[in-house]
Structure 1
Amino acid sequence: MPNQHQNESRRGPSFNRRNLLRGAVVAGGLAAVGAGGVGVAQAQSFNHPGQLLQADEFDRMESAVQANREPWISGWNRLTANSHSSSTWQPRAVERIIRGDNGTDPENYWLLYNDMHAAYQNGLRWKISGDTAHRDAAIRILNAWSGTLKEIGGWTEASLAAGIYGYQAANAAEIVRNEAGFDRARFQSMLANVFYPLNNDFLVRRHGTCDSHYWANWDLCNMAAILAIGIFNEDQAKFDEAIEYFWNGKGNGSIEHVIPFIHGDLAQWQESGRDQAHSIMGIGLMAEFMEMAWNQGVDLYSARDHAFAKAAEYVARYNNGHSVPFTKYVWYNGHNCAYNEHTVISDWPRGQIRPVWELVYAHYYNRLGMAMPNVREMIGKTRPEGGGGDYGPNSGGFDSLGWGTLAYVRERTPTALNRLQSYNFQDRYVRHAYYDVRLDASISPAADAQFRLVPGLADSAGVSFEAANVPGYYLRHYSYDFRLDPNNGSSVFKADATFHRVAGLADGSWTSFRSHSHPDRYIRHSDYLLKLDQISDATGRADATYRITS
């Protein structure tokens, strides 16, 4: 089979600086090192299952599929139609995996990636359907490899094999880690002794080249493998190693290097001048790395003010056919650090479909309520996401584990939609029109006057108003006027979009909304436009009183 990554090691970019952001942002009971540390998260214990999928994801998938609900059922149907999901899949384990033409050994790495995807997909089918034949198939595949594989070799692409298939193997094994018949200890030994040494060596030495020589996806897959191995093996040192590299690594997978330029709400990806296939691949690898950390209580998604969200929007926007800004990108490669530059974004192969977008959207929009319009547009083209082999028979079709529509999609809660009825003009409702906010009697389209009342973005005791028909866009005040704006995750936006419900200023059976950021001001209408005002008279009290209707 042709090697889609031939000559990948001959290029790669650079910045002679360390990551300027220190200290991992941590959630869920994990503590980060103090100021001046290197950003290593100190986990107290490991969650299992706790890599790409946790127990609640399996429960959600099972419930949605049993109820025949979209979009999960479409993802399930695509999974069951994929040949790698068959319980009759037979492993083809070998002692030596070769990736990269070393002039001596024939390449055979497709044996490994096909089997790891088969193990992962059979594990998914078992967890969702309860059919133990698929559990047994996953165990059979994983046991065959842990009992056979002794070496990963070849040319420099052996580092890609150890990285990509290392994190995928650990994720497949995580699904069946406690099942009878699975030799977990032997699999842990294979991960630690066959995969990890190559992962670690790449991040430390990069085959003796410049720090900037290799493209970001080389770093990212090895970072993902070390993180996944650390979780599966419950090895704190490896977990910390991967997190530390994310913050401070010298190569292009660290957060400072992988996103070299911020362009407002968009951020240029490190491989954008190279090609779009590897840019999209990198988005998938970074999302999977961040999700594994998140499931262990470490928030990397928010690093550099949600820079990864901006990068995903950048790559999605360009591959949706829209224009994006591009800043000249300089790097140094080889053993002698030769100067190279990209002056324009690459258009090859623009618009490629890969199963990486659902995970990005699930975190930033479904979890956090952030606006991701370009990723959302891309999902309209990729849903339902497939997996192994659905995107080509060669290695590029197996770079991501996939199945994001089935595995990651979450409903926004609450699901109910509401309207805000004026107290003193009861035939009028709050609505947005061309992102301005006003009271209107005739609501067309009706969706403009429907909002999801979600826990306050800045204070969960408050409330924020998400537009029903523009996901991730909220009512917010700006210079005491109101408009509909995208949630960019900033603390200023969250505060401006958060309000506290109080008894109606004109009628206690109705409701008024006090500003979170300006507690002496309330939402009120004036000349049918919404304002944020101090209330001093009866007219103002009536203007600031509303009824929440369904």
Structure 2
Amino acid sequence: MVTLDDAVPTASGLVHPGITTSSAQLAFVKQKVAARAEPWFGAFERARTSSFGSLSYTPRPVAWVGCGSGNSPDEGCTAEMNDAQAAYTHALLWAYTGDKRYAAKSIQILNAWSSTLQGHRFDTTTYKNGHLQAAWAGSVFPKAAEIIRHTGAGWASADVARFEAVLRNAFLPMVRDGWAGGGANWMMSMSEATINIGVFLDDRSVFDDGVSDWRATVPSTIYLSSDGAKPVLPPARAVKSTNLDAYWYNPTRYVDGLQGETCRDMDHVVMGLGATLQAAETAQIQGVDLFGEQQRRLTAAMEYNARYLNNPSASGWACPKPLKTIGTTVRHGWELGYAHYAGDRGVSLPQSRQYMQQFRTRAWTELHLNWQTLTHAVP
């Protein structure tokens, strides 16, 4: 039986469960799934019948994860991300059904990695994606672990302690305070991972570091005309005013909502924007209103980029080349931001809604953007 911990702050001031989904959110979706209400039930069924939701899923942990650009080489990179998503999928299925088999599978995956992983390799030649890989997996594993730990799933205290240690030793050093060589999606993914790890560890200083990184970095990833003629310079980077345009992939002009990678491709936009919004959701659960602090900037980015995903020939495109997508990641980062701004705050986001609804019947998980229709949909 799922027993949700009371949403009462610990001595650190942090609330559990409190990474991406709260006790109230888990209970709300559980009721919707039981009632077979859409879009939640359809999304639940896709999670349940996916490879990530299979009760025969087998984790494939490695001692050292080594990831090159584009996962070449792939030394445990795909395995780690698949296992993180599977652990989270099973944690959600446990929370929504009370079927202990799902909890046991999530625990098996978490324990497999905590008993094996030593770290993530990084250098500037072979293992260029080390920080990003640690950020993605370091965002998703804590989401799974937080649900399992605080819903009466029966995770042994010694195993919890070992998982805490692997987060602190194999993930946190790679993501805390970011990395000077990363672009918008790297930086926001690292801030999300730091926030999530801080919550799971019940460590206020780590959580606060992640929030500080978020606050410092978001203004440099999305342009508003109030910033001036050019975007805000990224904090602690080699980017200067002389190479800022190149860092933004040389837009023809700067317009409200342009994101640092809009002129690169939309998948990387959504990787960064999705991490930004997910981190804000966790902070919101913890009583920190990052959504409110950057509402104008974040909603402008959602609407501007969704407009051209809906209609690539729409007027006002600010990039020298046509809109580009490189995969399916672009579909997965919209529900959570829409739920907060449109659902909770009543902000009109017609472009975001139009684009998001195209893919509700194909709700899925990819990298660090996981099952948002299931966890955060609003009608």
- Shorter chain as denominator, the TM-score bin is 0.7 to 0.9
Letter in 1 for 2:190: N
- In structure 2, which of residues 298, 301, 304 is the aligned counterpart of residue 308 of structure 1? 298
Alignment partner, residue 337 of structure 2: 360
Whole-angstrom CA distance in 2 between matches of 1:116 and 1:29: 27
Alignment partner, residue 394 of structure 1: none
Q: Structure 1: which 5+ runs fail to align?
A: 1-27, 31-42, 207-212, 249-253, 328-342, 389-396, 412-550
- In structure 2, which of residues 86, 96, 100 is the aligned counterpart of residue 128 of structure 1? 96
Instruction: Report matched runs for 1:77-88 at 5 Å.
Output: 77-88=45-56
- Cα offset for 1:303? 2.3
Whole-angstrom CA distance in 1 between matches of 2:344 and 2:295: 16
Letter in 2 for 1:175: I
- In structure 1, which of residues 365, 369, 388 is the aligned counterpart of residue 346 of structure 2? 369
Alignment partner, residue 348 of structure 1: 324
Letter in 2 for 1:196: L
**CA separation of 1:246/1:129 partners in 2, compared to 1, >3 Å: closer, same or farther?**
same
Alignment partner, residue 223 of structure 2: 260
- Cα offset for 1:130? 1.0
Letter in 1 for 2:287: G
- The sequence identity of aligned pairs, in percent, is 30
Alignment partner, residue 42 of structure 2: 74
Whole-angstrom CA distance in 1 between matches of 2:51 and 2:204: 36
The SS at the match of 2:90 is helix
Task: Render the CA deviation track for 1:187-217: whole Å, top value 9, x for unaligned.
Answer: 111001110011126x2x52xxxxxx53200
- Cα offset for 1:283? 1.9
Decide which structure has the larger Cα Rg and report it. 1
**CA separation of 1:404/1:376 partners in 2, compared to 1, >3 Å: closer, same or farther?**
same
Q: Does 1:177 align with 2:153?
A: no
Letter in 2 for 1:180: G
- Cα offset for 1:81? 1.7
Q: Does 1:187 align with 2:163?
A: yes
- Larger helix proportion of the pair: 2
The SS at the match of 2:257 is strand
Letter in 1 for 2:367: F
The SS at the match of 1:272 is coil
The SS at the match of 1:176 is helix
Alignment partner, residue 275 of structure 1: 265
Alignment partner, residue 116 of structure 1: 84
- Cα offset for 1:50? 0.4
Query: Is the CA contact 2:8–2:15 (under 8 Å) kept in the aligned structure 1?
Result: no
Alignment partner, residue 54 of structure 1: 22
Letter in 2 for 1:291: E
Whole-angstrom CA distance in 2 between matches of 1:355 and 1:256: 23
Alignment partner, residue 45 of structure 1: 13
**CA separation of 1:315/1:94 partners in 2, compared to 1, >3 Å: closer, same or farther?**
same
**CA separation of 1:369/1:101 partners in 2, compared to 1, >3 Å: closer, same or farther?**
closer
Whole-angstrom CA distance in 1 between matches of 2:206 and 2:359: 34
User: Normalising to structure 2: TM-score of the pair?
Assistant: 0.82
Query: Is the CA contact 1:385–1:405 (under 8 Å) kept in the aligned structure 2?
Result: no
- In structure 1, which of residues 131, 142, 152 is the aligned counterpart of residue 110 of structure 2? 142
- Cα offset for 1:372? 0.5
- Larger strand proportion of the pair: 1
Whole-angstrom CA distance in 1 between matches of 2:215 and 2:164: 26
Q: Structure 2: which 5+ runs fail to align?
A: 1-6, 227-253
Q: Which moved more, 1:357-366 or 1:266-275?
A: 266-275
**CA separation of 1:305/1:148 partners in 2, compared to 1, >3 Å: closer, same or farther?**
closer
- In structure 2, which of residues 139, 164, 174 is the aligned counterpart of residue 167 of structure 1? 139
User: Normalising to structure 1: TM-score of the pair?
Assistant: 0.57
**CA separation of 1:113/1:350 partners in 2, compared to 1, >3 Å: closer, same or farther?**
closer
Instruction: Report matched runs for 1:494-505 at 5 Å.
Output: none
Letter in 1 for 2:17: P
The SS at the match of 2:18 is coil
Instruction: Report matched runs for 1:63-462 at 5 Å.
Output: 63-100=31-68, 107-154=75-122, 155-178=127-150, 179-182=153-156, 183-200=159-176, 203=178, 205-206=179-180, 214-248=182-216, 254-262=217-225, 266-321=256-311, 323=314, 325=316, 344=320, 346-349=322-325, 353-388=330-365, 397-401=366-370, 403-410=371-378
Quote the RMSD (CA, aligned, Å).
2.7
Letter in 2 for 1:316: A
- Cα offset for 1:357? 1.2
Whole-angstrom CA distance in 2 between matches of 1:128 and 1:304: 32
- Cα offset for 1:304? 4.0
Alignment partner, residue 251 of structure 2: none
The SS at the match of 1:133 is helix
Larger relative contact order (C-alpha < 8 A, sep ≥ 6)?
A: 2
The SS at the match of 1:302 is helix
Whole-angstrom CA distance in 2 between matches of 1:49 and 1:218: 26
**CA separation of 1:229/1:305 partners in 2, compared to 1, >3 Å: closer, same or farther?**
closer
Whole-angstrom CA distance in 2 between matches of 1:317 and 1:351: 18
Aligned length: 335
Query: Is the CA contact 1:321–1:351 (under 8 Å) kept in the aligned structure 2?
Result: no
Instruction: Report matched runs for 1:448-527 at 5 Å.
Output: none
Letter in 2 for 1:380: Q
Alignment partner, residue 15 of structure 1: none
Whole-angstrom CA distance in 2 between matches of 1:407 and 1:385: 14
- Cα offset for 1:407? 0.8
- Cα offset for 1:62? 1.3
**CA separation of 1:283/1:345 partners in 2, compared to 1, >3 Å: closer, same or farther?**
farther
**CA separation of 1:137/1:275 partners in 2, compared to 1, >3 Å: closer, same or farther?**
same
- Cα offset for 1:29? 11
Query: Is the CA contact 2:119–2:169 (under 8 Å) kept in the aligned structure 1?
Result: no
